[in-house]
């Protein structure tokens, strides 16, 4: 079992420079070396996995040999989400996941459907025909309002921009995630860092205030915070304020940007694929007429769901998952030394011609049940998989479909010809300068 093949890179930096210059292109080109590819970032050894069988081993069958990748352990990220579900490990994570799981049961989540539709309707009430909009910004604001309502039963619409701006400040440092600075965990008090830590403190104050108010009132608001506050382990213990804060921040962050991106890329793809767009509107007319959608319509909004799935294939908001080997193990016939960082890229595997016909084409039709069943497991994994699979996947799919339906009933969008849409792979897969569109009112 030799070391997997891969590029040598430069003596000191390894492949850091190539990776930083064109992350998505670089990790795509590396596939030519084989299913398991070795590369080095300074002193850190990484394996990139391109075969669904090995991705399954990483996330599911041999998950016990791994923790989350070290890039998640940056002090920046830790200050934001602490020991929340995304970052915690071992018995602590298992307990937290057990406590949080009931809050994400289908039935409970379904009760948020009306909020989603109502908020989407409210957001578009002032939109006009022929307006220039940044639909990515619109979707971020809308999903932010929805996550705050479903988490805290609180309406921040008047305050959305403020909290939104504070949050966008928070995620900026992650733009340089593979740089030297990131890997060496630089803690120097630069002005950017100071701004970041001040912004987190501001969000902290808001969150702790909300927790204290809820504990004092003891009232079940029917939101996620109430569920987490009431959750009890077998021995009767509950979460401390600090744990609650970490989980709430995690859900706040994980729960809106990804969904906003899925929606933004959906509008982009619909605007550039008139045939799919037409089918989309035909389905809305047939299923809903002029009526607003509700959770009960979800099983009938089949084409909307296929659009969502196809968007998550081509523009997966989480475009990579990473792990670190906590013991020596084996993958795809290669030895994995303890400490190796392993990555699987949704961006690459979802566009692999071995699994998807015409992989670059936007074809929602490929998601009919029979065709989807023929895919190898883990050729498509927008929500990850195994024990650490996204806890919010049903929440996200419901939100994407309901928002597409609510907004799509009233508007279609064309791309602003003066603007070029570009992908920017930071912590998530974002449009570099937004997605500028012109709105067209339908009725």
Question: Which one of residues 390, 401, 402, 405 is an interface residue with ligand HEM (CB under 6 A)?
Answer: 390
Of 57 and 259, which CB lies nearer to ligand HEM in the complex structure?
Answer: 259
Q: Which is nearer to ligand HEM, 280 or 395 (CB)?
A: 395
Identify the residue among 321, 344, 401, 402 touching ligand HEM (CB under 6 A): 321
Residue carrying the six token digits 């996995």: 49
Smallest distance, ligand HEM to C-beta of residue 269, A: 14
- Interface residue with ligand HEM, options 62, 65, 74, 250 (CB under 6 A): 250
DSSP state letter for 39 = E
**Tokens read off for 34:** 């084989």
- Binding to ligand HEM by residue 57, rule CB under 6 A? no
Contact status, residue 122 vs residue 157, Cβ threshold 8 Å: yes
CA distances from 196 to 171, 246, 312 (A): 8, 17, 30
Q: Does 334 bind ligand HEM (CB under 6 A)?
A: no
384 binds ligand HEM (CB under 6 A): yes
Stretch that binds ligand HEM, among 26-34, 161-169, 383-391, 432-440 (CB under 6 A): 383-391
Q: Whose Cβ is closer to ligand HEM: residue 251's or residue 435's?
A: 251
Q: Which of 211, 396, 402, 427 binds ligand HEM (CB under 6 A)?
A: 396
Count how many residues are written for the chain: 443
Q: Kindly state the smallest distance separating residue 5's Cβ from ligand HEM, in Å.
A: 25
Find, among 25, 16, 324, 349, the residue nearest to 176 by Cα: 16
Residue 18 tokens read as 């190539």
CA torsion angle for 276, 281, 287, 293 (degrees, to 10)?
A: 110
**Pick from 437, 79, 35: which is nearest to 245 by CA?**
79
Nearer to ligand HEM, 30 or 100 (CB): 100
What SS3 state is found at 90? helix
**How wide is the angle at C-alpha 347 spanned by C-alphas 344 and 351, nearest 5°?**
110
Stretch that binds ligand HEM, among 75-83, 226-234, 269-277, 391-399 (CB under 6 A): 391-399
Q: Which residues ranging from 72 to 111 are in contact with ligand HEM (CB under 6 A)?
A: 85-86, 97
Size of the site for ligand HEM (CB under 6 A): 23
369, 339 contact by CB (below 8 A): no
The yes or no reply on residue 268 touching ligand HEM (CB under 6 A) is no
- Which of 3-11, 177-185, 283-291, 380-388 is the region at the interface with ligand HEM (rule: CB under 6 A)? 380-388
* 253 sits near ligand HEM (criterion: CB under 6 A): no
- Which range in 45-53, 110-118, 328-336, 377-385 contacts ligand HEM by CB under 6 A? 377-385
Q: Note whether 318 binds ligand HEM by CB under 6 A.
A: yes
Alpha-carbon distances of 407 from 59, 294, 430, 435, rounded to whole Å: 36, 13, 21, 16
Residue 179 φ/ψ, nearest 5 degrees: -80, 170
Q: Tokens for 247?
A: 């989980």
**Complete DSSP assignment for 231-299:** ---TTS----HHHHHHHHHHHHHHTTHHHHHHHHHHHHHHHT-HHHHHHHHHHHHHHHTTSPP-GGGGG
Q: Which residue lies nearer to ligand HEM by CB, 100 or 288?
A: 100
Residue nearest to ligand HEM (CB): 392
Provide the minimum distance between the beta carbon of 169 and ligand HEM in the complex, in angstroms, as a whole number: 21
Residues that bind ligand HEM (CB under 6 A): 68, 85-86, 97, 250-251, 254-255, 258-259, 262, 317-318, 321, 382-384, 388, 390-392, 395-396
């Amino acid at each position: 079992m030799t070391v997997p093949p891969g590029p040598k890179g430069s003596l000191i930096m390894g492949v850091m420079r190539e990776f930083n210059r064109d992350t998505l292109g670089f990790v795509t080109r590396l596939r030519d070396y084989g299913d398991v590819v070795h590369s080095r970032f300074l002193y850190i050894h990484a394996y990139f996995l391109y075969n669904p069988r090995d991705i399954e081993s990483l996330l599911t069958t041999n998950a016990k040999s791994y923790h989350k990748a070290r890039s998640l352990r940056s002090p920046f990220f830790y200050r934001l989400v602490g020991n929340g579900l995304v970052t915690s490990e071992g018995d602590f994570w298992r307990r937290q996941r057990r406590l949080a799981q009931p809050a994400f049961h289908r039935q409970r989540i379904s009760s948020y459907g009306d909020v989603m539709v109502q908020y989407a309707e409210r957001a578009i009430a002032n939109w006009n025909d022929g307006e220039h909009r940044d639909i990515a910004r619109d979707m971020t604001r809308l999903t932010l309002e929805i996550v705050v309502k479903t988490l805290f039963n609180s309406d921040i619409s008047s305050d959305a921009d403020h909290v939104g701006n504070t949050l966008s400040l928070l995620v900026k440092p992650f733009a340089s995630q593979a740089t030297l600075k990131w890997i060496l965990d630089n803690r120097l008090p630069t002005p950017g860092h100071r701004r970041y830590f001040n912004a987190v403190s501001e969000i902290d104050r808001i969150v702790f205030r909300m927790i204290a108010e809820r504990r004092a009132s003891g009232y079940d608001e029917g939101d996620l915070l109430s569920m987490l506050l009431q959750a009890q382990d077998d021995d009767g213990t509950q979460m401390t304020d600090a744990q609650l804060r970490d989980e709430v921040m995690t859900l706040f962050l994980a729960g809106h940007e990804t969904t906003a991106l899925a929606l933004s890329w959906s509008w982009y793809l619909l605007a550039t694929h008139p045939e799919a767009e037409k089918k989309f509107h035909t389905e809305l007319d047939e299923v809903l007429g002029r009526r607003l959608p509700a959770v009960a319509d979800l099983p009938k909004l089949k084409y909307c769901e296929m659009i969502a799935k196809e968007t998550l294939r081509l523009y997966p908001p989480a475009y990579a998952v990473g792990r670190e080997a906590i013991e020596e193990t084996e993958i795809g016939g290669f030895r994995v030394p303890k400490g190796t960082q392993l990555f699987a890229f949704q961006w690459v595997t979802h566009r692999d011609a071995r699994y998807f016909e015409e992989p670059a084409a936007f074809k929602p039709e490929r998601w009919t049940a029979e065709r989807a069943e023929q895919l190898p497991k883990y050729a498509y994994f927008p929500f990850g998989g195994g024990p650490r699979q996204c806890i919010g996947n049903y929440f996200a799919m419901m939100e994407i479909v309901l928002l597409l339906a609510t907004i799509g009933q009233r508007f279609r969008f064309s791309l602003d010809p003066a603007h070029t849409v570009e992908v920017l792979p930071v912590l998530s897969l974002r449009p570099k300068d937004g997605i500028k569109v012109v709105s067209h009112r339908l009725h």
